[in-house]
Amino acid sequence: MDLFFQLTLAGLAIGSIYACVALAVVMIYQATDHFNFAQGEMAMFSTFICWTFLGLGLPVWVAAVLAIGTSFIAGLIIERVIIKPVENAPVLNQIIVFIGLLMIFNNVAGWIWEFTIKPFPSLFPDDFGFKSELIGPHHMGVIALTLTVLLLIFLFFRFTRVGLAMRAAAANPDSARLVGISVGWMLALGWGLAAAVGAVGGILVAPIVYLEPNMMSGVLLYAFAGALLGGVSSPGGAVLGGLIVGVLENWLGQYVPGGSELKLTFALILIVGVLLFKPAGLFGRVVIKRV
Amino acid sequence: MAFLEVKGLKAFYRQIEAIHGLDFSLEEGSITTILGANGAGKTTTLRAICRMIRTEGEIRFDGQDVTGMATEKVVQLGIAHVPEGRGTFVRQSVEENLQLGAYTRKSKTEIAADIERVYDYFPRLRERQKQQAGTLSGGEQQMLAIGRALMLRPRLMLLDEPSFGLAPLIVQEIYGIMRRIRESEGTTMLLVEQNANIALNLADHAYLLETGNVVMSGESQVIRDDENVRRSYLGY
């Protein structure tokens, strides 16, 4: 029974990282109707920036906060400089821009920091003052920190003036302009926030998967699976979806013979399955578009 | 100079010219209506003032040229637009819709007081304040759209067919409230309508639009008594 709880808690920890990336993906999806395929690579790049700050001798928390801040500004700039010009371009052009960003970030990271695998320190101490047989200190810290971050984001969107304006701009840009909201800046802010949340995910997953330019490819796939499972129209759903995928992944690896080899396949099966049988996801709305 | 002065206004949807050199003006504190059939260019005129489409010609609001401005800047000048189709933020609550209307304002206490004021005009919105706006009836959404515009404390209100798609009793109710708003706030309004009868009852001045041109203008009373207008627009 202990093994089951261990697996579940570790699954929740990794799932909360998927949840961060899934939320970043959904935030941008809500505003643009597209998946940002580069979300994972942006998070990887943020983690490398954090690593660079660490190399300068900064304490790990300072480096993390600076890297997250840098990511926020970078996300904002990416929207203004690269995404805004293709805002009204055909869907295919936009998707190509996203894929282009993915490859650029991947290659530039390899060029600057090399493709060798690097160990990355945990933000959390080895000992919180108490030990648990069921969950390690890093996983414990991951769950606590991601839940805090997700809660703060929820409060921001739910209760602040700018949060409300961002929701309004994503849902109904014309009406948003008519009440005086600068829709373009709200979209840029959304990209900044998504990049920052993604960075949190990257920094938390790096101690587990090690730091290298391809470290997010698996994570992004699970995050997509989580976002789709929860429902791309529902930020809360995407977070729950990420958690569910993390737990299922761990159970699969332990209880299904050969399951540990099939983890990525499982994510893809989940993606295809949701798209085929429940495109709106578990918590999403069915979106009807007038054409 | 008039409060709103429009000269030689042309507006375009892509390459197609939808209005062809419109001239009109309105005075502060007045209610002016633009009447016309479907496709006459009424909505386009309002969208032009709010810089939602490409235009040529002059639009001056309180002496200021607005043609180079972004929509959100025009709103900051105090022009509130109640758009065609009401522009409801359907997933937000009634109260959030009203808060969005006050987005450009700062004082929280004033905003809270104005929300109460809107609820006083539209008691039905108070009953539904926590409800998702998309679940409201058409009439309630129209009330919400007007309430949202009031939240700007507008100097000029643009209203695009507030009667559209509503039952006659609801239309009466909404126009009654608009009259009260005019009496107690003195808000300047530019009202676009297909329902000429009810618009002429409320407005001081009227312009008649046909396929992108003004064909007649004057005091509402005079327009209403005109033989031709009566036959083609009022139907009696």
* Domain extent listing, chain B: 4-88+153-234
Q: What's residue A230's pLDDT?
A: 92
Amino acid A75: pLDDT: 97
**CB-based contact A177 B96, cutoff 8 Å:** no
Residues 6+ apart with CB under 8 A from A68: A46, A196, A199, A200, A203
Burial of residue B65, with CB atoms counted within 10 A of its CB: 0-12 exposed, 13-18 middle, 19 or more buried: exposed
Per the listing, tokens 């409320």 go with: B202
Which pLDDT belongs to residue A202?
97
Choice between A57 and B215, residue whose per-residue pLDDT is larger: A57
**pLDDT by residue (tens digit) across B42-61?**
999 999 999 999 999 999 99
Measured CB to CB, residues of chain A less than 8 Å from chain B are: 161, 164-165, 167-168, 171-172, 174-183
CATH number 3.40.50.300 given to B4-88+153-234: yes
- Residue A32: the pLDDT is 83
> Using one digit for the tens of pLDDT, what is the confidence trace for A206-262?
999 999 999 999 999 999 999 999 998 889 999 999 999 999 999 998 888 887 888
* CB atoms A181 and B89 under 8 Å: no
Share of chain B above pLDDT 70, in %: 99
Is residue B224 within 8 A of residue B234, CB to CB? The reply is yes
Distance (Å) of CA A8 to CA A125, A139, A160, B46? 22, 11, 35, 58
C-alpha–C-alpha distance, residues A195 and A36, integer Å:
11
Chain mean pLDDT for chain B: 93
Paired tokens of A8:
């579940």
Say if residue B236's pLDDT is above 70.
no
A178/B83 CB distance under 8 A:
yes
Write down the pTM of the prediction.
Answer: 0.90
Which of A88, A178, A285, A286 would you mutate first to test chain B, the one with the most B CBs within 10 A?
A178
pLDDT (average), residues B157-174: 95
Dihedral sign computed on CA atoms, order B169, B174, B177, B182: negative
pLDDT in tens, B71-121: 999 999 999 999 988 999 999 999 999 999 999 999 999 999 999 999 999
Give the pLDDT confidence score for residue A118 in this predicted structure: 94
The strand order across the sheet containing B213-219 reads B79-82, B156-160, B188-193, B31-36, B205-210, B213-219
- Can you say whether residue A37 is alpha, beta or left, with left for phi > 0 and alpha for psi between -120 and 50 degrees? alpha
The Cα B82–Cα B51 span in angstroms is 14
The pLDDT assigned to A133 comes to 80
Nearest to A168 among B80, B81, B92 (CB): B92
CA distance B229 to chain A (A): 33
Domain A2-120+132-277 falls in which CATH fold?
A: ABC transporter involved in vitamin B12 uptake, BtuC (1.10.3470)
CB contact under 8 A, A171 and B99: no
Q: State which residues of chain A have pLDDT below 70.
A: 287-291
SS (H, E, C) B173-192: HHHHHHHHHHHHHCCEEEEE
pLDDT at B231: 76
| pLDDT (0 to 100) of residue A282 | 87
Residue A179: list chain B partners with CB under 8 A. Answer: 75, 100-101, 103-104, 148, 152
